[in-house]
Amino acid sequence: MSDFDESEWETVIGLEVHAELATRTKLFSSAPNEFGGEPNTNIDPVTLGLPGALPVLNEQAVELAIRVGLALHCTVQRSIFARKNYFYPDQAKNYQISQFDLPINIDGWIELPDGKRIGIERAHLEEDTGKSTHIGGGGRIHEADYSLVDYNRCGVPLLEIVGRPDLRNGDDAKAYVSELRAILVAVGASDGKMEEGSMRVDCNVSVRRRGETEFGTRCEVKNINSLRSLGRAINYEAARHVALIEAGEKVEQQTRHWDESEGRTHKLRSKEEADDYRYFPEPDLVELDPSAEWIERVRSELPSLPAQRRHDLVDRTGATPAQAGLIVERGLDALCIAAVDLGADGSRVVTHAEHNLADPRAVDLTPENLAKLTEMETGGDLSATQAKQVIAEMVETGASPVDIAKAHGFEAMDTDALATTVDEVIAANPDEWQRYCDGDGKLTGFFVGQVMKATKGQADGKAVSALLNARKS
């Protein structure tokens, strides 16, 4: 939801996602890459930028970067590292080794669950900074009484994934980040935990009147720590831009800080105040030129990716794209397909996965048990209500649906017994029956509910409806 007229204004969003790569050691040294730990324990001469220390590129980080690049349909190319120079205490050398002119991955795309393709400009390697804590002065470096620096994170490998400005609303932006996260996790490149900072999102937002081809002036929003914040920050920022323009003012290119508690952004600096990073090729490293064999080996080892898995699920089970998105996100797609392969009804399997299997333990269900459950439903051995109860217990205990149903005494009612019960319920509610027969559809639920009550839920709702319908005429 936006606070401006979306028929008149279009929001343009491009995201820069920093993902910490799940390597054993840092990008340029053998210091451990671990989250947490006592401050300044995962450090070494390279991390601290001691005189005479030299960087040596971590091959595992390169491999993970290639994996992500290929998963994002990028071209993996010869690349070089560059120094990005700026003074800040948590940057031990006062320069960051990054990639500038020639990044390792360029020109890819991500497919969102609804089929939209969002372009990826580049995905490059760089090192993370340490963490500063400013004591006093409202926590800002310039007013602080003193500052503390923890270099544990300094030098941790990052992949900066720069998306093209192809996103048009907060929901798509959230879907993009979710999808990217799913890809990073699927290829084992990152744990993708936004809350631990292992995945960080900077968001470029601009607005323009619909139909315009030029982009508006953008602002970069930092400090977005959750998907919810992402959506809120985009909507806030877009509305701010629209309000400025409608008031006859100009949007200034700025870097802004999202304040989650206030629900607004604050200006950090304008374009003019931005550092001149004085990028130049890092002379302590040689060019990175992965061989075609290396790239092809990584490609051949890539697991099936979320978009492909969604397509497969739709093809094999008849799931809708929306259902497929949810089921793949829950990691239940392989289970569903295996159950269908065992003869289960695709639509029932998908319905269970969508509505009854939110519990993370559901991934441990066996396809055999899931297929058996749907078979019992189809054969009329279980009502929908019973099936729901059985599947919950299957997730809980891992027991087979047959055993669970038996333990509860769930058995299919024979049709005669059900018909008798229906007749009894009709007889007991003559007024309602009359209104039902006069066409009051709302009473269907009433009668089904009465029959369910009488049969303690053993009746199949559909069979009851059919009997009621038959009696009416």
Partner 1 sequence: MTHDGATTYPTATAIAEAVAGGTLSASAVLDAHLARTAASEGTIHAFNHTDDDAARQRANEIDARVSAGEDVGPLAGVPIVIKDNICTKGVPTTCSSRMLDGWIPPYDATVVRKLAAAGAVTVGKANMDEFAMGSSTENSAFGPTLNPRDTTRVPGGSSGGSAASVAAGFAPVALGSDTGGSIRQPAAFCGLVGVKPTYGLVSRLGLIAFGSSLDQIGPLTHTVADAALVLDVISGHDSGDSTSLPTPAPRVSAHLDDGVAGLRVGLVRELMGDGIAPEVLASVNQAAEALVAAGAIVEEVSLPTIDYSLSAYYIIAPAEASSNLSRYDGVRYGLRVDAPTTGEMMERTRTQGFGDEVKRRIMLGTYALSAGYYDAFYGTAQRVRAVIRGDFDAVYNNVDVLLTPTTPTTAFKLAEKVSDPMAMYMNDICTIASNLVGQPSMSVPFGLDSDGLPIGVQLMAPTLGETTMFAAAAVLEAAQPLGSQLGSPRTLVANEGGL
Position among 149, 189, 233, 413 found at the interface with partner 1 (CB under 8 A): 149
Compute the least distance from the CB of residue 285 to partner 1, in Å: 5
Instruction: Determine the interface stretch with partner 1 among 31-39, 141-149, 251-259, 291-299 (rule: CB under 8 A).
Output: 141-149
Give whichever of 114 and 284 is closer to partner 1, judged by the CB atom: 284
Using rule CB under 8 A, residue 133 touches partner 1: no
Compute the least distance from the CB of residue 43 to partner 1, in Å: 10
Compute the least distance from the CB of residue 87 to partner 1, in Å: 6
Its sign, for the CA torsion 27, 31, 34, 35, is negative
Q: Which residues pair with 159 in a beta bridge?
A: 19, 125
CA distances from 348 to 54, 352, 373 (A): 60, 6, 10
Give whichever of 281 and 303 is closer to partner 1, judged by the CB atom: 281
Residues 6+ apart with CB under 8 A from 217: 206, 241, 250, 251, 252, 253
Using rule CB under 8 A, residue 402 touches partner 1: no
Using rule CB under 8 A, residue 55 touches partner 1: yes
Using rule CB under 8 A, residue 437 touches partner 1: no
Position among 5, 37, 41, 54 found at the interface with partner 1 (CB under 8 A): 54
State the Cα–Cα distance between residues 363 and 346, nearest whole angstrom: 17
Centre a 10 Å sphere on the Cβ of residue 448 and count the other Cβ atoms it contains: 20
Place of tokens 């005429």: 473
Give whichever of 282 and 377 is closer to partner 1, judged by the CB atom: 282
Using rule CB under 8 A, residue 291 touches partner 1: no
Give whichever of 46 and 205 is closer to partner 1, judged by the CB atom: 46
Position among 2, 60, 77, 85 found at the interface with partner 1 (CB under 8 A): 85
E-strand stretches of 27-116: 75-76, 82-85, 95-98, 105-111
State the Cα–Cα distance between residues 455 and 280, nearest whole angstrom: 78
Using rule CB under 8 A, residue 433 touches partner 1: no
Using rule CB under 8 A, residue 95 touches partner 1: yes
Question: To the nearest 10°, the Cα dihedral for 380, 383, 384, 387?
Answer: -90
Using rule CB under 8 A, residue 148 touches partner 1: no
Using rule CB under 8 A, residue 144 touches partner 1: yes
In a 10 Å sphere around its CB, with 0-12 CB exposed, 13-18 middle and 19+ buried, how is residue 199 labelled?
buried
Binding track over 251-290 against partner 1, x by CB under 8 A: -------------------------x-xxx--xxxx----
Position among 39, 45, 346, 461 found at the interface with partner 1 (CB under 8 A): 45
How many residues of this chain bind partner 1 (CB under 8 A)? Answer: 33
Which residue type occupies 377? E
Q: How many Å is the Cα radius of gyration of the chain?
A: 29
Which run of H or E residues covers position 20?
strand 9-20
CA distances from 388 to 261, 414, 454 (A): 40, 21, 19
Instruction: Determine the interface stretch with partner 1 among 18-26, 142-150, 401-409, 446-454 (rule: CB under 8 A).
Output: 142-150
Position among 8, 24, 78, 94 found at the interface with partner 1 (CB under 8 A): 94
CB 425 within 8 A of CB 451: yes
Position among 5, 24, 37, 50 found at the interface with partner 1 (CB under 8 A): 50
Position among 26, 93, 122, 232 found at the interface with partner 1 (CB under 8 A): 93
What pairing do the DSSP bridges indicate for beta strands 254-259 and 219-224? parallel
In a 10 Å sphere around its CB, with 0-12 CB exposed, 13-18 middle and 19+ buried, how is residue 145 labelled?
exposed
Compute the least distance from the CB of residue 184 to partner 1, in Å: 27
Compute the least distance from the CB of residue 283 to partner 1, in Å: 4
Using rule CB under 8 A, residue 41 touches partner 1: no
DSSP code, position 198 = S
Residues of this chain that interact with partner 1 (CB under 8 A) are 45, 48-57, 83, 85, 87, 89, 92-95, 141-144, 147, 149, 276, 278-280, 283-286
